Structure 1
Amino acid sequence: MKHPYYLILFIALFLFNCQQQPNKVDEIAIIPKPLEQSISSGNFVFESTISLKTEIQFASVANYLTDFLKSELDITTKNSDEKHQIVFSLNDEIDNDEGYELSVTPNQIHIQAKTKKGAFYAVQSLLQLFPVDIDKNKTTALPCVEIKDKPQFRYRGMHLDVGRHFYSVDFIKKYIDLISRLKMNTFHWHLTEDQGWRIEIKKYPKLQEVAAFRKETLIGHYSDQPHKFDGKKYGGYYTQEQIKDIVAYAQQRQVTVIPEIEMPGHSQAAIAAYPELGCTGKQVEVATKWGIFEEVYCPSESTFKFLEDVIDEVITLFPGKYIHIGGDEAPKTRWKNCSHCQKLIKKEGLKDEHGLQSYFIQRMEKYINSKGKQIIGWDEILEGGLAPNATVMSWRGVGGAVQAAKEGHDVILTPTSHCYFDYYQSDNEKEPTAIGGFLPLEKVYSFNPVPKELTEDEAKYVLGGQGNVWTEYIPTSQQVEYMTFPRAIALSEVLWSTPEHKNYNGFINRLEQFQRRLDHLDVNYANHIYEVKGKLQNHDGKLTYELSTVSQSYSIYYSTDGSEPTTLYKSPIPVDASMNIKAVVKNDEGKAMGYEFEQKVKLHKGVGAKISINKEPHPSYNAGGKEALVNGISGNNKRYGDKEWLGFWGEDIEITIEFDKPTEINSISTRFHNGNGQWIYAPVSLSIEFNKANESSITQTVGLYSNKKTISDVQIDFSEEENLFCKSIRLIIPNYGIIPEGKQGGGNKAWTFIDEIVIE
């Protein structure tokens, strides 16, 4: 028999380890960051069985928590008056329907809320207090905390386009589950498109038989010429029973599902099934490539009857307040050439085809309102006059939101600049093909959903914001996850937490832990927080190259000759010659934590020279500033959205480069992006003016021959002209002009994108 002393010591050590360790944590790593939070000593220790008490209105939320405890910790709950317990209480004094109070003490987890939503969000915060790597065989202890929290905005949404690519019911549920963990409360489900109709409508079976399938799909990017196709039939749709199941699943997670039924544009799939819905009545096929198509609904009585029937079935499936009717990118070509449309314009006293679109939207709004619902539309629904009760989803910048809010309409901000998660999130060439653009994590986090142009009273019409996931180049659910996370995580904090509580470095520290939770949930997120970034610096003529990474957990290693990075980075690298810098973040065991960074620096005569441009680059494509054109670094070969390319929309530009002293010029070269599928056109010609040291000047004009290459190069060689010493150089670059009709963006001004100007 053992001595009683050892038994007493064993019991003491057991109690100490279970109830006192860890004694106190320094920070609560919850995303989105709570409004008020404090940490105290002690822990709540879970036992194999625990008491749970709840008010009846919170029963479903309590069940959600008990399901987690059972599946993750093998803990069962019981209803008893034991002191060691979890309690859900109603608190009508909480001033926000989605607000909550969470208290964790050594004996009790107490959740107070006004509604189920608030209770559910309290549980989401509680779950983030659990260890990232839960072990059923070890005692689980939560830190003692006090949290009071509520959201900044009412509408916190994520969108998913299933028209271009189709995803399983299981994945749709996973997507909803993930956004609910981030306290997002809306799932915008984009169900109809030119390339596929994804919702069962029983009255119109051809929507399932014809519109839900396309004969083949474009291979590669739209800008790749000539277009190639895979020759494989593709499609699918969700039955009404499946939709009911998904909506019920979302309701359990306090997520409202908003369906989008596109009109009058993006409707070619429906017209393929029922040609009489179009203006020509001719048979068309479900679209097989991406872009904007001229086939739009004809505003005839038979079309309105079709759409009203569709809405009748949609309404029975989605109990939420809103129906999204699209309204964007509706070409007017068919309407201009349609006798019925022209007669209708005259009959209704409309100004033009834009007025006809407004008539179309207002008529459908009136019908949807009669069914007890309200419409949301993209900001194009402002054209020709806004429907009386419409909510505007502003995507083409914030102008639509400003106009609508000033007219007294609710608005949801989802501008391409900060909320389009189909854009590239890294300039690393290993990134999967995306539609274009560049939207890194930090830019998402910097988003302010309230436009500065609004007064305090007008800002009250801003309901919130939304992240959009368009899927032209996202064929699998794994890639949806890669493009969505962690950018949706950053957006969740933008929409929930107040600006004064936001801090990007603090967010990154919490994100590192959250990503480990995503690992546990088998989410294929993009892990760019360990990616190395580089920047050329010019301090009084001395050039250095600075390396950085947003995470401070590990160190950067580099090389300057293109070899394997082995040198520990401590300070900026002197640049006194052209070099090929490679760098990577490594953990303590020497394992690379992210992509290897590589940057070639070409030290030409223009690097560090004074540069000016007569027009400011577009704010969305000015990340590197004007100095990006003379910093020795070329932009990405495959895309135009990184910080080295500058973008100008519809403007003629003049670029002047001035040297400290007269400099001999042998050649000048630059290049333009020529992605016509994204409205980007290289100029037809450019002129270069040389201001010589003797005060005279010469000008040379060079034509850029039309070609189908994505990159259009231009080089002027002066090696045969002796002693061309210049004080400055001026590049005169006319914009391409108006994009031809029939092309993507036809009738709009073209973009100009220019890269490094190399002077040798």
Structure 2
Amino acid sequence: MQIKKVFSLALFLLFLSSCEQNKIQNIEVQITPKPLNQTMGQGFFELSSTTGLNYPEELKISGEFLKSFIEQSKSIKLKKGNDIRFSIDETITSDEGYTLKVSPETIEIKAKTDKGAFYAVQSFRQMLPVAFEIGNFEKSKVEIPAITIADAPRFSYRGMHLDVGRHMYPVAFIKKYIDALAMLKMNTFHWHLTEDQGWRIEIKKYPKLQEVAAYRNETLKGHYSDQPQQFDSKRYGGYYTQEEVKDIVAYAQERFVTVIPEIEMPGHSQAAIAAYPELGCKEEQVEVATKWGIFEDIYCTKEETFTFLEDVLDEVLELFPSEYIHIGGDEAPKTRWKECPNCQKRIKEEGLKDEHELQNYFITRMEKYLNSKGRQIIGWDEILEGGLAPNATVMSWRGTSGAVQAAKSGHNVVMTPTSHCYFDYYQSKNEDEPTAIGGFLPLEKVYAFNPIPEELTEEESQYVLGAQGNVWTEYIPTEDHVEYMVFPRIFAMSEVVWSSPSNKNYPDFVNRLEHFHERLEALSINYANHLYELSGQLQNENEQLSYTLETVTKGKAILYTMDGTEPTFKSETYSKPIPLNKSVNIKAAVFENNERLGSVFSERINLHKAVGAEIAIDKEPHKAFLGSGAEGLINGISGSDTRFGDKEWLGFWGEDIEITIDLGAEVEITSIETRFYNGNGQWIYAPRTLEIAFDNDKDFKTYELSPENLIVNFKANFKDIRAKTITIKVPNFGTIAEGKQGAGNEAWTFIDEIIVN
């Protein structure tokens, strides 16, 4: 009898042990960016004040970071020993690669360099409870699941940008920004320091840069497109002292983040010219710019300018040890150069063809100077115009064509196209989003970005160093607002540049991101939470229209109404596509435990006569702004009033288009409506005219448009028209005029729903 009891107890304990092992085995370690390889083990490592830490001098930064991070909890103090061991492993091929092995006995971190070990620590950090982030972990031990990680980045350049010319932020915030980059294994901070609206770095040889160029008299209120424009009448500005810059650079170095300064030239230099008018072609006094945009006062190409810029760069080089110095090179109108005797003399003396080649001369000359100091230049893709400086690296922002051109010429490239990398764009269709410059860049689109353009061969793709997210701050005046625009899109970008494409999975990413929210809150980072928003899609199968709803988060219910009322936990539960036979106003939301999560999704579906018809466009939409394809123009759904990049607007760059709609049968047509986005600040212009014809009629009727507002509406009424087909010609606006944003480039055309009644 006693033997049976002992045997039963043993079985019970074995069962408990098995359950515990399975429990540990099934723990999901959620690390972002996703590691290259990770395998869960059995059991766990117990971290406590009996744990010993050992690291060689070569891995000191990483070892000290981990020690400090754990010990800030105050409840655990590490001692010397080999329970947590750092070691050099020369067999790891990547300087930024590492292995991290957690077993019940030890934690082993191996890397070729301190940088690789540091990234191992950042992965390990995410395995610890969130309380460690703010030093209030009160327990005496913590159990860490056994795991083996072998990891290395996909790209060598993994960056984030911050513009402090339009709005600037305290040193403490710049360090917080760098901390976030390091946590997500990003290694480059692109610091945009000079602008038309403010010069933000102390240059001791030129004190007026601090006294004059660093301050503007007032700032534009509202959006650039608002009419009339209004200003706040408040002096704004400031600059970072050289001591502050040294402090920030050193802080970044301790986190293996390289700070690349940007000193704009030859354009975006009105603030400097306001301080020293002799740097401009007219040598007349101008003011530091008080609104956003492109300005015609750019650096003149006379010798005094190059002396000034070389002096400035000499001081910059003393502060920044980075290999690269960013020299801008973008959006430099040539108006002043065309009128300037000095610039025209330079063109003639140097045997240049035009002002574009003069810009190449300017950039090449600055490159030679920086090369003589052992540095390299990087610039926006406009530096390709007129020929590329011999050793320049191109930062491709106007789509990917600049990157393709540069890479095929053997130049290094960093990818940062507006379509996927501009975090100053809207990230949600919610109308209560804070004012942004325009555009629409949701989290999923950032995550879907592939930095390797499809036009490049495998050999040419080696010139793509990586990618970065850009944060231009015209409409981002505070630190909280910066964080709101950056987080969580920075998580998606970190995975784009670090993780293997084969490991990327958006639903898995969303699950990890949802888990990360608690850590962001502990770090007092203000993030945008759009994970509980819904997306909808009109479907047409076998001539039956229906509407689908989905959310990226799992285990949640979708409840909806079709009469425009707010959904509650008592509303209809979505389980399959909603059949449609009339115009409706669907409202829906994600619910969990009878509580609504996130905002209410709203979609007005207008079943006009063209919905479900056949449509063709003689040009393909630009691949960055495909919307829902041609069918999206007649799906009964209008695009956002402010987010031209959403899935309902179609974008075409510099092309006339012809649209043909086949209604399937002859019907009476009383009106045709559509609308165009007219965000000139983003190079988008509504057409001046529109042409319409019916069936095979070659006699198109021309209609005039008045492109004055941000949204340009068009409606034509008809009498006694019956037709089967409609043809609409939309001519492109043409080349953008000098002095405007994007001057010299072809305009974009953005068109929304075509409504046929």
Tell me if both proteins adopt one fold, taking TM over 0.5 as the criterion: yes
Q: How do residues 3-42 of structure 1 correspond to structure 2 at under 5 angstroms?
A: 23-42=24-43
Residue number in structure 2 paired with 1:336: 338
Structure 1 residues 665 and 86: CA distance shift in structure 2, 3 A: same
Structure 1 pair 744–149 and aligned structure 2 pair: CA distance change class (3 A): closer
Q: Does 1:738 align with 2:738?
A: no
1:713 deviates by 1.7
The secondary structure found in structure 1 opposite 2:598 is coil
Aligned to 1:672: 676
What is the CA-CA distance between 1:463 and the residue it aligns to?
Answer: 1.2
Counterpart amino acid of residue 714 in structure 2: V
Instruction: Give the superposition deviation at 1:643.
Output: 1.3
Quote the offset at 1:532 in angstroms.
Answer: 0.4
Return the alpha-carbon distance in structure 2 between the equivalents of residues 439 and 665 of structure 1. 36
Contact 2:333/2:738 (8 A) holds in 1? no
Kept in 2: contact 1:86–1:109 (CA 8 A): yes
Whether contact under 8 Å (2:378, 2:392) holds in the other structure is yes
Comparing 666-675 with 304-313, greater Cα deviation is found at 666-675
Amino acid at match of 1:50: T
Q: CA deviation at 1:92?
A: 1.4
Q: Residue 683 of structure 1: CA displacement?
A: 2.2
In 1, Cα distance between equivalents of 2:713 and 2:285: 42
1:53 aligns with 2:54: yes
How many percent identity over aligned positions?
A: 63
**The 10-residue stretch of structure 1 (295-304 or 126-135) with the greater mean CA deviation from structure 2:** 126-135
Instruction: For 2:405 and 2:733, locate their aligned partners in 1 and report how far apart those are by CA, in whole Å.
Output: 30
CA distance in 1, matches of 2:555, 2:344: 65
Distance in 2 between the 1:410 and 1:744 partners? 27
Counterpart mapping for 1:198-277 below 5 A:
198-277=200-279
- How far does residue 481 in structure 1 lie from its aligned partner after superposition? 1.0
Report what 1:4 is aligned to. Answer: none
SS in 2 for 1:72: coil
Tell me if the contact between 1:654 and 1:731 (Cα under 8 Å) persists in the aligned partners. Answer: yes
Taking the aligned partners of 2:245 and 2:737, their CA distance within structure 1 comes to 42
Indicate which of 610, 616, 636 corresponds to 2:614: 610
Q: 2: distance between equivalents of 1:202 and 1:49?
A: 53
Quote how far apart the aligned CAs of 1:21 are. Answer: 9.7
Gapped runs of 5+ residues in structure 2?
Answer: 1-9
Q: Would you say 1:551 and 2:556 are equivalent positions?
A: no
Aligned partner of residue 549 in structure 2, secondary structure: strand
What's the TM-score, normalizing by structure 1?
0.94
Which residue number corresponds to residue 127 of structure 1?
125
Following the alignment from structure 2 to structure 1, what is the Cα–Cα distance between the partners of residues 114 and 731?
59
Q: CA deviation at 1:486?
A: 1.4
Matched position secondary structure for 1:619: coil
State the shift of 1:490 in Å. 0.8
Q: Secondary structure at the match of 1:736?
A: coil
1:658 aligned partner, one-letter code: D
Is the contact between residue 447 and residue 492 of structure 2 (CA under 8 Å) also seen in structure 1?
Answer: yes
Contact 2:99 2:151 in 1 (8 A): yes
The one-letter code matched in structure 2 to 1:416 is: T
Q: Match for 1:574 among 556, 579, 591?
A: 579
Q: Partner residue of 1:708?
A: 708
CA contact (8 A) 1:21 1:43 kept: no
Q: How far 1:23 moved relative to its partner?
A: 2.5
The Cα shift of 1:20 comes to 7.0
Counterpart residue type for residue 234 of structure 2: K
Which residue, 602, 622, 628 being the options, matches 1:624? 628
Contact in 1 for aligned 2:674/2:755 (Cα 8 Å): yes
Paired with 2:697 and 2:676, the residues of 1 have a C-alpha distance of: 29
SS at match of 1:52: strand
- Between the aligned partners of 2:378 and 2:680, the Cα distance in structure 1 is 31
- SS at structure 2 position matched to 1:397: coil
Aligned to 1:99: 97
DSSP 3-state at the match of 1:140:
strand
Q: Distance in 1 between matches of 2:709 and 2:313?
A: 45
CA distance in 2, matches of 1:368, 1:34: 37
Partner Cα separation in structure 1 for residue 436 and residue 338 of structure 2: 34
SS of alignment partner, residue 209 of structure 1: helix
Contact 1:20/1:43, CA 8 A, preserved across alignment:
no
2:5 is aligned to none
Cα deviation, 1:583-621, whole Å, max 9, x if unaligned, reads 111222x22221211111111111111111122222222
Letter in 1 for 2:702: T
Distance 2:668 2:512 in 1: 53
Indicate the SS of the match to 1:647: strand
Counterpart for residue 4 of structure 2: none
- Of 653, 658, 666, 1:654 maps to 658
Q: Distance in 2 between matches of 1:113 and 1:50?
A: 21
Q: CA deviation at 1:101?
A: 0.8
Asked whether the 8 Å contact 1:22–1:43 carries over to 2, the reply is: no
Matched, 1:748 2:748: no
Q: Distance in 2 between matches of 1:752 and 1:23?
A: 55
Give the CA deviation at 1:313. Answer: 0.8
Superposed displacement of residue 446, structure 1: 1.5
Aligned Cα root-mean-square deviation (Å): 2.3
Aligned residues: 740
Q: Distance in 2 between matches of 1:210 and 1:440?
A: 39
Q: Is the 8 A contact 2:27 2:145 kept in 1?
A: no
Residue correspondence of structure 1 range 490-509 to structure 2 within 5 A: 490-509=492-511
Pair 315,728 (structure 1): closer, same or farther in 2 beyond 3 Å = same
Per the TM alignment, residue 26 of structure 1 is displaced from its structure 2 partner at its CA by 4.4
Which amino acid letter does the alignment assign opposite residue 43 of structure 1? Answer: F
Cα 1:393–1:91 shift into 2, 3 Å: same
Give a deviation string over 1:40-91, Cα, whole Å, max 9, x none: 111111223421111011122111111111223631122136xxx2111111
| 1:110-121 alignment, distance < 5 Å | 110-121=108-119
Determine helix, strand or coil for the equivalent of 1:401.
Answer: helix
1:279-326 deviation per Cα after TM superposition (whole angstroms, max 9, x unaligned): 110000011111111111112211111111111111111112111111
Moved more, 27-36 or 184-193: 27-36
Shift of 1:696: 7.2
Aligned to 1:186: 188
Task: State the Cα distance separating 1:147 from its structure 2 match.
Answer: 0.8
How far apart are 1:461 and its partner, in Å? 1.6
Q: Deviations over 1:667-716 (max 9, x none)?
A: 2222222223333222222222123xxx8787543222x35222222222
Q: Which residue of 2 aligns with 1:634?
A: 638
Q: Who is 1:315 aligned against?
A: 317
Matched, 1:478 2:485: no
Give the structure-2-normalised TM-score: 0.94
Alpha carbons of structure 1 residues 161 and 659: separation in structure 2 relative to 1, 3 Å = same
Aligned to 1:288: 290
Q: C-alpha displacement at 1:496, in angstroms?
A: 0.9
Partner of 1:597: 601
After superposition, the C-alpha distances for 1:216-238 in whole angstroms (9 at most, x for unaligned) are 11111111112111111111111
The more displaced of 709-718 and 537-546 is 709-718
Compared CA separation, residues 209 and 492, structure 1 to 2 (3 A): same
Shift of residue 651 of structure 1? 2.1
Q: Which moved more, 1:153-162 or 1:673-682?
A: 673-682
Task: Describe the SS at the equivalent of 2:516.
Answer: helix
Where 1:448 maps in the other structure, the secondary structure is coil
Bigger mean CA deviation after superposition, 271-280 or 500-509: 500-509
Indicate conservation of the 8 Å contact 1:398/1:413, yes or no. yes
| Contact kept? 1:680, 1:750, Cα under 8 Å | yes
Equivalent residue letter for 1:187: F
Answering whether residue 404 of structure 2 is matched by residue 399 of structure 1, we say no
1:295-444 matches, within 5 Å, as 295-444=297-446
Contact 1:604 1:632 in 2 (8 A): yes
User: 1:499-538 maps to which residues of 2 (within 5 A)?
Assistant: 499-538=501-540
Offset at residue 559 of structure 1 (A):
0.8
Distance 1:627 1:393 in 2: 34
Q: CA deviation at 1:329?
A: 1.1
Q: 1:451: Cα distance to partner?
A: 1.8
The Cα offsets for residues 623-681 of structure 1, whole Å up to 9 and x where unpaired, read as: 21111111111111233221111222222222111112221222222222222333322
Specify every segment of 5 or more residues in structure 1 that has no aligned partner in the other structure, as ranges.
Answer: 1-8
Residue type of the partner of 1:106?
P
